[in-house]
């Protein structure tokens, strides 16, 4: 099952690097990691949490990542995410310089890492995701796009498994990307009781 959050328009909005997103006791608590890339300019934020296996990833790329779309499987049924980003910007479309890549995962493959680069891609100097690479316990897919800019990497293990993507897109590019990871924790730590201050604080100094 794929849970898709409606995209929202934002301006000058920054997402924290890592924060708890949702708690599902039967499946484990999810944490939200990232995103990496453009965090400040006007964009469309999107978020997708999955309960199932990743089947396919569709990537359109040229001098940067133009779009990404993911297909999942849960209980024998497929769910296709929305396409985030566009097929290509005006210059890519005019020169047919973008490539569409279709990645198909075997049922026994597990995603263990997502990495790439982000940086300026056009005259606006706003960062975009320049390249993406997907690593499973069986194979490496990519890199797709151009490996230029700042490197980033999200890694998973048996106690911290892949649970979906989130990110930002605008003007024909994927501007930022992050991941959800499922932990093996079932509960949050309870907050400590607030400490009551004394009614009258002792004097620390005297003017006499």
Asked, for residue 202, whether it belongs to a domain, the answer is: no
HSE-up of 162 (CA within 13 Å, CB side)? 22
Residue 80: CB atoms within 10 Å = 13
Asked, for residue 161, whether it belongs to a domain, the answer is: yes
**Tokens 């890519």 sit at which residue?**
92
Band the pLDDT of 121: cuts 50, 70, 90. confident
What pLDDT shows up at residue 16? 33
**What is the pairing mode between strands 140-145 and 77-80?**
unpaired
What pLDDT shows up at residue 202? 52
What pLDDT shows up at residue 139? 96
The rounded distance, in Å, linking the Cα atoms of 139 and 111 is 9
Among 118-127, 149-158, 175-184, the range scoring the smallest mean pLDDT is 118-127
Which DSSP state fits 157? B
Band the pLDDT of 186: cuts 50, 70, 90. confident
Out of 47-51, 81-85, 129-133, 180-184, the most confident range is 129-133
What pLDDT shows up at residue 111? 94
Asked, for residue 189, whether it belongs to a domain, the answer is: no
Give the CATH number for residue 95.
Answer: 2.100.10.30
Q: Which residues contact 125 (CB under 8 A, 6 or more apart)?
A: none
Where on the phi/psi map is residue 13: left (φ > 0), alpha (ψ -120 to 50), or beta? beta
Average pLDDT estimate for 13-17: 33
> In the structure encoding, which two tokens stand for residue 105, read together?
């995962």
Asked, for residue 206, whether it belongs to a domain, the answer is: no
Number of independent structural domains in the chain: 1
Q: Please state the pTM of the whole predicted model.
A: 0.74
Asked, for residue 142, whether it belongs to a domain, the answer is: yes
Return the closest-CA partner of residue 165 out of 85, 78, 70, 86: 70
Q: Which domain holds residue 158?
A: 2-183
Among 80-94, 115-129, 187-201, the range scoring the smallest mean pLDDT is 187-201
Instruction: Give percent of the chain with pLDDT exceeding 70.
Output: 74
Q: Exposed, middle or buried, 107 (CB in 10 Å: 0-12/13-18/19+)? A: exposed
What pLDDT shows up at residue 51? 65
Asked, for residue 204, whether it belongs to a domain, the answer is: no
Asked, for residue 75, whether it belongs to a domain, the answer is: yes
Q: What is the pLDDT of residues 31-68, one digit of tens each?
A: 999 999 888 777 789 998 876 789 999 999 999 999 99
Q: What is the pLDDT of residues 143-172, one digit of tens each?
A: 999 999 999 999 998 888 999 999 999 888
Asked, for residue 157, whether it belongs to a domain, the answer is: yes
């Amino acid at each position: 099952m794929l849970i898709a959050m409606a995209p929202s328009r934002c301006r000058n909005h920054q997402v924290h690097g890592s924060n708890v997103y949702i708690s599902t006791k039967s499946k484990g608590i999810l944490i939200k990691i990232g995103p990496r890339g453009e965090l400040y300019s006007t964009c469309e934020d999107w978020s997708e949490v999955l309960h199932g296996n990743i089947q396919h990833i569709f990537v359109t790329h040229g001098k940067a990542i133009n779009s990404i779309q993911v297909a999942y499987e849960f209980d024998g049924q497929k769910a296709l995410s929305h396409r985030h980003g566009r097929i290509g910007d005006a210059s890519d479309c005019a020169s047919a310089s973008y490539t569409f890549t279709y990645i198909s995962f075997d049922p026994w493959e597990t995603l263990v890492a997502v990495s790439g680069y982000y940086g300026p891609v056009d005259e606006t100097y706003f960062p975009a995701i320049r390249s993406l690479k997907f690593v499973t316990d069986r194979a490496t897919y990519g890199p797709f796009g151009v490996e230029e800019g700042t490197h980033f990497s999200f890694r998973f293990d048996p106690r911290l498994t892949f649970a979906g993507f989130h990110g930002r897109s605008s003007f024909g590019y994927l501007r930022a990307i992050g991941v959800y990871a499922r932990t093996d924790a079932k509960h949050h730590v309870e907050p400590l009781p607030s400490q009551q201050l004394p009614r009258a604080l002792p004097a620390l100094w005297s003017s006499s």
